[in-house]
Amino acid sequence: MPTPGHQQTAVKPIAVPLTGRDADLQVKVTAPRQGNDLPVIVFSHGNAWSMDGYEPLVDRWAAAGFVVVQPTHLDSRRHGIGFDDPRFQTIWRVRIADLHAVLDHLGHIVGEAGLTDRADLSRVALVGHSWGAQTVGALLGARVFDAAGNADEDFSREGIGAGVLIAATGTGDSLTPFAQEHLSFMRPDYTTMTAPALIIAGDKDQSKMSTRGPDWFLDAYELSPAPKSLMVVPDGEHTLGGIAGEAVAETTDTDQARVALVADAVTAYLLEALDLDTRAWTGFSDEAGADLTATLRHKA
């Protein structure tokens, strides 16, 4: 793997075969220019974003030696499907199908990016932010309650080394009236999310979709079975300092150090979870807890 700080390259758009979708599924691939046996992150963006967002995270992960694959989901602004569009109620399923399709065709994707001989497809992790975190959670084993309170559908994926959920949707028993009407699928059941995962939340993240406070974003950790880790970012709001991009409208707590903390936490966690550095997360946890005042918890 390359030393952190190496230059990166990005290739887009790469088409991914997927039928029954209102727009073609396209991805962007970012990777370091040097190094072999590179682990892979498949990243799921938050509502309305696209493969072109989250550069502050993606660039830092690529500099640390990861290949990062970013699909553009159907809810991206570029597709023009808003809350009132009747298709919106099923986009959560399309998002899950997107990630399965990316994983099914990962060899083709890295090949199109010129990385066939450099990417290690035996070490793959999923990372998501906001709605993307709920999407990733489904592949890690979480389910979605329907209106009758049933959570029978299993979208989990074999072969995923680990996952990271950033600002993940909490349970649906405290949705606001707007969320109940437009985002009724925001009802995850984390009790079945058995895959190893890191949950990252901000202690100032007050969602307009929930009647609860920032503790809503801890549900993915509190309710899921071990092994799990939790990092609560001090003074972090929903975009945690600007992880979606510099000076974007959604960022209300601009802080480059906070962004670096989130990015580096993901790097350290995945290096250890994917058996690339057996002390990466342990060492990061010690430093973050002592020097950066982040709150960290673990359940084995």
Cβ(99)–Cβ(44) below 8 Å? yes
β-pairing verdict for 38-44 and 67-71: parallel
Q: Is residue 185 part of a domain?
A: yes
Query: What total number of domains does the chain contain?
Result: 1
Per-residue pLDDT, 2: 41
Per-residue pLDDT, 107: 97
Confidence class of residue 84 from pLDDT cuts 50, 70 and 90? confident
Starting from the edge strand earliest in sequence, which strands make up the sheet with 38-44, in order?
A: 8-16, 25-32, 67-71, 38-44, 119-129, 162-166, 197-202, 228-233, 295-299
Nearest to 262 by CA among 110, 102, 130: 130
Judged against a pLDDT cut of 80, whether residue 5 lies above it is answered with no
| Percent of the chain whose predicted confidence (pLDDT) is above 90 | 72
Cβ(24)–Cβ(14) below 8 Å? no
Confidence class of residue 290 from pLDDT cuts 50, 70 and 90? low
> Using one digit for the tens of pLDDT, what is the confidence trace for 54-63?
999 999 999 9
**For position 54, which CATH number holds?**
3.40.50.1820
The crossing angle, in degrees rounded to 10, of helices 131-139 and 91-104 is: 60
Per-residue pLDDT, 289: 63
Per-residue pLDDT, 251: 78
Q: pTM for the whole thing?
A: 0.94
Instruction: For the chain, report the end-to-end CA distance as a whole number of angstroms.
Output: 28
What single-letter amino acid sits at 12? K
DSSP 259-288: HHHHHHHHHHHHHHHTTS-TTHHHHHHHHH
Q: Is residue 154 part of a domain?
A: yes
> Using one digit for the tens of pLDDT, what is the confidence trace for 26-56?
999 999 999 999 999 999 999 989 999 999 9
Nearest to 193 by CA among 146, 126, 238: 126
Q: Is residue 2 part of a domain?
A: no
Q: Is residue 60 part of a domain?
A: yes
Per-residue pLDDT, 292: 62
Confidence class of residue 291 from pLDDT cuts 50, 70 and 90? low
Q: Is residue 256 part of a domain?
A: yes
Distance, in Å, from the CA atom of 275 to the CA atom of 14, rounded to the nearest integer, reads 29
48 is in which domain, residue-wise? 8-299
Judged against a pLDDT cut of 80, whether residue 123 lies above it is answered with yes
Cα-trace Rg, the chain? 18
Q: Is residue 286 part of a domain?
A: yes
Judged against a pLDDT cut of 50, whether residue 3 lies above it is answered with no
Helices and strands per DSSP (H, E), number in the chain = 8, 11
Residue 100 exposed, middle or buried by CB count within 10 Å (0-12, 13-18, 19+)? middle
What single-letter amino acid sits at 223? L
The crossing angle, in degrees rounded to 10, of helices 256-273 and 55-63 is: 50
Judged against a pLDDT cut of 70, whether residue 17 lies above it is answered with yes
> Using one digit for the tens of pLDDT, what is the confidence trace for 195-254?
999 999 999 999 999 999 999 999 999 999 999 999 999 999 999 999 998 777 777 888
